[in-house]
């Protein structure tokens, strides 16, 4: 569970060096970091000892699996096999003590099916990608592991691709296993481009969302919340723009206060700290190690954050799965006289419990009640028995 007070800035760590002293400094000041994401599993053990309140995410570096050019041709059996291999990798390259220190493991990184292509084929590829992530969640659940996935690249996916990804049933699998979503956002680190709110093609209007920052709000407010599929979210890589020193602090403060309004956000991790040679010029130590930033941490630690805002996992005892790609749930059966209100929508393969069915003699199809209050109904021909 995230800390109830203070800023939600995390440390993104590649090769631990400065991170240890920052974690200790924050703890000594009485304002521990919200979280640490690290490619080095040993640092997470140290973090657990120094600052047990700090959330800890292991980044499983598996580039051999960050590959999706053939995903349109992947069968369910192949995706299940690949998901099992990815989870086994973690058990092969970590020990029980390390795994006990992880709150989550982040699998996969910036896969963009079909390389950013648009259209129906790309949408289908995103549905396939969602299915792969669903099987990954199920494989992790079977090993009592909690994961974050799939680290969307910033500026992706498009609205129709979000819909396709959700339709795979991946968020139901996340909820059932206690998993969450990770993604990347921001503007180019050396640019002075502002954080922009604005539309993305086809999406509903959300005034507080933007194309490369707060893009997650299109997914959460436009699709997940209406379907009661809200899961924990980590912005596991963030580019603030404005450089890597204290010049970027106003941007960090603005972004931090924005995401803290969304109770489902675990935090945001500026990329990166303690970089490897590949990322040597991208090091936020000048910002995150500054007195100015630590003064912000002190000031904000008296400010309470909203409680973790998640939808409950589906209750046990469901009887059917939905078959339509996007199924309208109506307030009462549509018997031909009055048009019932659409109260929400369900993605394909959503588990539901049917409490009863109504079909008058002149009704072409029956309607099934999926609420014990009698106020949610779906067409019976779009259900299959569990």
- Exposed (0-12), middle (13-18) or buried (19+): which is 258, by Cβ within 10 Å? middle
Q: What is the pLDDT of residue 317?
A: 75
Average pLDDT of the segment spanning 81-95: 96
Task: Compute the Cα dihedral for 240, 246, 247, 253 and give only its sign.
Answer: positive
> How many Å separate Cα 223 from the centre of its chain?
13
Confidence of residue 315 (pLDDT cuts 50, 70, 90): low
Compute the radius of gyration of the chain from its Cα atoms: 22
| pLDDT class of 382 with cuts at 50, 70, 90 | very high
Number of H helices, E strands in the chain: 11, 16
Packing angle of the helix pair 120-142, 170-177 (nearest 10 deg): 20
CA–CA distance, 8 with 111 (Å, rounded to integer): 26
- The answer to whether 321 and 368 are in contact (CB under 8 A) is no
pLDDT band (50, 70, 90) for residue 313: confident
Environment class of residue 40 by beta-carbon count within 10 Å: exposed (0-12), middle (13-18) or buried (19+)? middle
If DSSP codes are grouped into helix, strand and coil, which group holds residue 248?
Answer: helix
Which residue from 13, 204, 269, 155 is spatially nearest to 21, judged by alpha carbons?
Answer: 13
Number of Cβ within a 10 Å radius of residue 195 = 17
pLDDT score of 1 more than 80: no
To 10 degrees, the CA torsion angle through 42, 46, 49, 51? -120
Mean pLDDT to the nearest integer, 334-352: 83
Map residue 282 onto helix, strand or coil: coil
Q: What pLDDT, on the 0 to 100 scale, is given for residue 347? A: 80
Least confident window among 56-70, 150-164, 255-269, 316-330: 316-330
> Which tokens hold the place of 122?
């790309």
Please give the average per-residue pLDDT across 117-146, as a whole number.
94
pLDDT at 78 (0 to 100): 95
Give pTM, 2 decimals: 0.85
Strands 383-385 and 367-369: unpaired
Domains within the chain, CATH numbers bracketed? 10-300 (3.20.20), 320-385 (2.30.30)
DSSP letters of 52-80? TTSEEEEE---GGG---TTGGG--HHHHH
pLDDT tens per residue, range 137-161: 999 999 999 999 999 999 999 999 9
């Amino acid at each position: 569970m995230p800390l109830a007070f203070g800023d939600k800035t995390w440390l993104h760590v590649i090769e631990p060096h400065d991170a240890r002293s920052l974690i200790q400094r924050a703890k000594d000041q009485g304002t521990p970091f919200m979280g640490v994401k690290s490619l080095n599993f040993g640092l997470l053990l140290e973090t657990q000892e120094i600052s047990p309140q700090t959330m800890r995410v292991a980044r499983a570096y598996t580039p051999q699996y960050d590959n999706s050019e053939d995903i349109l041709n992947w069968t369910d059996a192949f995706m299940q096999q690949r998901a099992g291999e990815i989870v086994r990798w973690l058990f092969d390259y970590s020990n029980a003590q390390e795994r006990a220190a992880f709150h989550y493991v982040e699998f996969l990184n910036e896969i963009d099916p079909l390389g950013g292509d648009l259209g129906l084929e790309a949408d289908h590829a995103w549905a396939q990608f969602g299915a792969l992530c669903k099987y990954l969640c199920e494989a992790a659940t079977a090993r009592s592991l909690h994961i974050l996935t799939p680290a969307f690249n910033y500026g992706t996916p498009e609205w129709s691709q979000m819909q396709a990804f959700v339709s795979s049933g991946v968020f139901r699998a996340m909820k059932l296993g206690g998993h969450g979503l990770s993604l990347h956002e921001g503007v180019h680190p050396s640019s002075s481009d502002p954080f922009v709110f604005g539309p993305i093609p086809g999406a509903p209007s959300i005034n507080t969302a933007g194309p490369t920052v707060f893009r997650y709000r299109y997914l959460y407010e436009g699709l997940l919340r209406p379907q009661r599929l809200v899961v924990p979210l980590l912005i596991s890589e963030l580019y603030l723009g404005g450089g890597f020193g204290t010049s970027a602090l106003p941007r960090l403060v603005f972004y931090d206060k924005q995401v803290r309004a969304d109770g489902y956000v675990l935090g945001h991790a500026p990329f990166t700290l303690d970089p490897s040679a590949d990322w040597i010029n991208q090091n936020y130590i000048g910002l995150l190690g500054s007195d100015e930033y630590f003064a912000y941490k002190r000031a904000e630690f008296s400010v309470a954050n909203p409680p973790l805002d998640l939808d409950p996992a589906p209750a046990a005892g469901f009887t059917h799965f939905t078959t339509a790609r996007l199924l309208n749930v109506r307030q009462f059966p549509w018997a031909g006289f009055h048009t019932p209100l659409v109260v929400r929508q369900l993605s394909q393969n959503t588990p539901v419990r049917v409490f009863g069915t109504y079909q008058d003699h002149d009704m072409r199809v029956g309607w099934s009640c999926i609420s014990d209050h009698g106020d949610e109904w779906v067409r019976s021909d779009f259900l299959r028995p569990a």
